[in-house]
Each structure stands twice: as C-alpha cells, then as structure tokens.
Amino acid sequence: MLLPCSAHLFHLYYCAAGDCMCVSMHLLRYSAMTEELTTCELTCPSSPEKTLDVVKSKPMDLEQPIFSVLSGGVKQQPAEGDTAGTPAATTPDTESGIFSGECDLCVEHESELDWFCGTEQRLICSHCAIVGPCHGHSVTPVATRVTAVRNHLVDVCEKLQLQALRIERFIEQTLTAKEQKLQVGASRAREHILAQVSAAREALEEEEQRLLEEVQKEEERVEQCLLTQRAHWSKALANLTQTRSGLVHTLTHTSEAQLVTSVQEIAERVEAADGVGEPCDTEQLNMNSACSDSKLLRSLWATAVLLGPNAYGSFYLKFDERTVSPLLSLSDDFYTLTFSNKKHRQPLPYDPARFDCWPNALGSLSMSSGTHSWVVDVGESGAFKVGVCYTSLERKGSGNEARLGYNSQSWVLSHYDGDYSFCHAGRKEPLQVARRPQRIGLLLDWPSGTLLFYEPDSSAVLHSFTHYFNAPLLPAFAVTDRSITILH
C-alpha cells in the first residue's frame, strides 16, 4: 500500500502482522522550487479485511482518522452539546490555506477530506486510503498537494515573468534595432538602385545620342549620293532626250543630199549619247545597317529577354523524333539526345524527315516571327552543335548539304576537341570562350534577324550575328560525344 507522508509531520501507520502493531515514522521530503515530491511506499502484507479487524480491535474510534496533523494523538470526540469542536468550526490551515470555511466530509466515512488521491485525482479521507476504494493508490495530504500546486504555480509564474521580460527585451531592443537597420538598409538599397539606374540611363542616353548621330550621318550620306545620282542621270536623260530629238529631226526634215553630207555630225551626236553610259545600283545608295548596331543595346536587350520568365523557352520545344539520326538515341521524354556506339544502335524506320548519315536532330518548334529562346545542357560533351536551320535543309546523304554549318541553310555554334566556333556555309569563325560552359542558350529575334549564343549562368554573349531570314527556322542539334538536353 502506497502512503505518502506530509512534510515535517509525523504520522502513524498501523500494520497488522500477527498480533503485534508496528509504528513507523516517516518524513516527506519535497522541494518547493523544483516541484519534486517524494512519497514513501509502505506495503501492507495483510489483506484489507485483516487490517480492518486489527484496527477495530484497538481502543479507538473508527470515525477518527488514523492520521493526525500536528496533534500527535487521537482527536477527542466532542461532548454532547459542545459546539466548540464541531466540524463547522474548523480551524483554517495556515500552511495550505485551503480551509476557509466548513470542511467537506467523506460521504462514506464521514471524515474530513484531508487527503488527495493522485490516481483518481480527487479528495479522500484517511479511511479511503487505508481500507476504502483508494487502497493501494498514490495518495498525498491535501496540504502537501496544495503546497506542491502552489510551488508549481510559483514556478510557472516565474517562467511566465521571465518569458515576458524576454519578449519585452526583444521588442524594445531587437525589433527596434531591426527597424533602424531596416531603414538604413532600405535607404542604402534605394541609393544603390538609383545609382545603378542613373549610370545605366546615362550610358543609354549617350549611346542613344551616338547612334542617332550615326544614323543621321548615314542618312545624309545616302541622301547626298541619291541627289548626286539624280542630278547626274537627270542631266544625262535631258542630253539623251535632246540628242534623240535632234537626230529624229535630222532624219525627218533633212534632204537626202544634206543627210549624206551630215554623217560626221550625226556620228558625233551618237558618240556623245553613247558616252552617257548605263545607270547601275550600288551599295553606296543603300543605308549601312551597321550604323545602328550597338553592343550595349544588344546586351541589354538580350539580358532583359534572358532574365525574363521565358528565358528557357517554350515548354513545347522538344527533339522531333522523326528527324533523329540512327546514330543517336532519344530519351522517352524527347528532351535528351545521346550519341550511341555501334553495338547499341537500334534500326529506325525510314522517314523522309530523318537524317540518315550525319548525327543530327531538329527541334519541334518552327519559328517565323517573334522572339524565341531556348537553353541546351551540353554537360561534359566534347563534340556537339547547336543552332538553327531552314526547314528545307537536306536530310539524306553524307554530303555537306545535310551537314550542319557546312551549307547556306544552317547556322550553328560548334564545339569539338576543346575549340568553339561559329559555322555557316562551310566557313568557321573561331570563338574565344573564357570558360567551358555547361549550358548554352540561343536567342532568336526574327524581326531584326538576330541570332545570339550566350551562357545562361553569366549571361555572357558567346557570339551574335544578323541575317534577315526568308523562311521558317527550326532549332538544329548534333552530338558525337555523350549527350545534350533541352532544358525548361
């Protein structure tokens, strides 16, 4: 049977063992600040019925609790008519402070509910703990329980106070400092943005002024050429018209004798007319488009497109399965192209759109207007080509007509054995690449005829050129080492 003892209070415990009675004194140790409550565990070897018989055999009142607090003895029954000792006049417990009025009594034993059953979480009397329904439960004196609860509440209040102090300190110090730091940081960020925008605006304004002046000069030059040509050929036309009119007049109004004698004069007029020559169109009469070319504007335009939401191109751009060469294998999602060695090559059905000799493949997106961009992961591939070609590019045979970059219908960036170059119509233009890119992006602006190759990680332009395309284009690819992948 488990019976905890009150702190600094002695209690009597009656144990029936044969015909002898043992009196044990126990001291409950507890710590108010740590809420640690120690209870004593006493086991009664006899049955509850035997214990009850032993208790009844003793000269004591069963109505009297066997545990006494502070009195050290048995509570005396008040004399009949004596109201001083009735339960209604219960003395308040100065330690626990829980008895401030009439004390509740146990319904079963009519004893004070001065114990607390931890197992059932309710108030009980001492008889309930010894022979009642709470026999064997973990019980504690109410005063001790109240003290423990109070100590717990004190600890909780202290913790809440400390937490409140930490919150106040966080609000007053940390958040205030953060607000001040935020203001300083935001002010610096605004100044930084304004400075960068101001520098960019100044550079753009200067570039704008320079380009406008270049365009104006080119316009004036062409206009002057046109005026000169117009004046020259207008004069020549007038001379020819006058010469022709004179010859016609001679032919129709001159007698035969005079006509024969005027042969020399007629020959001089014809020679003068032949000296006028034939008019021809020249490049001097055309405006040079390079006057509006600007690396700064092109870089800013490309950066704006490449850093936008569609930098990785359309989700619908994949490798066109019909065009994939038998030398290559295509992934199930149509995004990865891998060079296959001879023993792993699979025979493919004949298709007029398929490349049969060169390791080429085309994209599924036809481009004939607007702006388009896509990114290819080239990884560690040591030999590949990425670019564009006309839809009419030859697909069959081992000639240059079907070889990317070796005909007039394809424009590609080529990497082979560590060297990078731009290839078109069989001509190679070496490219200086600072570092080996893992990804290569392509940007096509159809209206301006601009094709740009760049590195997405740094937005560095690898190469760009301008050509006014006259037919729809397709993304073009080739690989002879490892694999390449279209990214999204």
Query: Which is nearest to 280 in space by CA: 222, 220, 233, 219?
Result: 233
C-alpha neighbours within 13 Å on the C-beta side of residue 256: 0
Residue 336's pLDDT band (cuts 50, 70, 90) = very high
Res 355: pLDDT: 96
Res 367: pLDDT: 94
Taking residues 314-339, what's their average pLDDT? 93
Q: Are strands 473-479 and 360-362 parallel, antiparallel or unpaired?
A: antiparallel
DSSP 281-322: --GGGS--GGGG--HHHHHHHHHHHHTSTTTT--TT--B-GG
| 309 vs 54, higher pLDDT | 309
Taking residues 236-244, what's their average pLDDT? 85
- Return the residue matching tokens 């509910």: 113
Q: What is the mean pLDDT of the chain?
A: 79
CATH fit for domain 304-487, picks 3.40.190.80, 2.40.160.40, 2.60.120.920, 3.10.450.240: 2.60.120.920
Residues 6+ apart with CB under 8 A from 340: 327, 328, 329, 346
Instruction: Please state at what angle helix 295-306 crosses helix 176-253, rounded to 10 degrees.
Output: 130
pTM comes to: 0.53
Q: Based on C-alpha coordinates, what's the Rg of the chain?
A: 54
Query: Which is nearest to 291 in space by CA: 203, 225, 223, 219?
Result: 219
| 193 vs 41, higher pLDDT | 193
Report the chain's terminal Cα–Cα distance, integer Å.
Answer: 75
Q: Which of 370-374, 398-402, 405-409 has the lowest mean pLDDT?
A: 370-374
Res 312: pLDDT: 63
Taking residues 460-480, what's their average pLDDT? 93
Indicate whether 423 pLDDT > 90.
yes
The span from the CA of 220 to the CA of 293, in Å, is: 18
Counting Cβ atoms within 10 Å, is residue 473 exposed (0-12), middle (13-18) or buried (19+)?
buried
| 344 vs 337, higher pLDDT | 337
- 71-129 per-position pLDDT tens digit: 333 333 444 444 333 333 333 343 333 333 345 889 888 889 999 999 999 999 999 98
The span from the CA of 36 to the CA of 30, in Å, is: 6
Asked whether 26 and 6 are in contact (CB, 8 A), the reply is no
Indicate whether 47 pLDDT > 70.
no
Most confident of 105-109, 133-137, 163-167, 255-259: 163-167
Tokens of 455: 């590195």
Asked whether 133 and 85 are in contact (CB, 8 A), the reply is no
- Return the residue matching tokens 């005026």: 227
Residue 423 CB neighbours (<10 A): 20
- 255-307 per-position pLDDT tens digit: 777 777 777 777 877 877 777 778 888 888 898 888 888 888 877 877 777 77
Query: Which is nearest to 11 in space by CA: 61, 64, 67?
Result: 67
Q: In 97-237, at which residue ranges do the beta strands (DSSP E only) sit?
A: 115-117, 122-124, 139-141
The span from the CA of 241 to the CA of 218, in Å, is: 34
Res 276: pLDDT: 75
The span from the CA of 132 to the CA of 52, in Å, is: 10
Q: Quote helix, strand, coil % in the chain, to nearest 5.
A: 35, 20, 45
Query: Which is nearest to 396 in space by CA: 325, 327, 341?
Result: 325
The span from the CA of 488 to the CA of 374, in Å, is: 8
Note the Cα 149 to chain centre separation in Å: 51
Q: Which of 26-35, 211-220, 347-356, 415-424 has the lowest mean pLDDT?
A: 26-35
The span from the CA of 258 to the CA of 253, in Å, is: 10
Calculated CA dihedral for residues 153, 158, 164, 167, nearest 10 degrees: -120
Res 439: pLDDT: 94
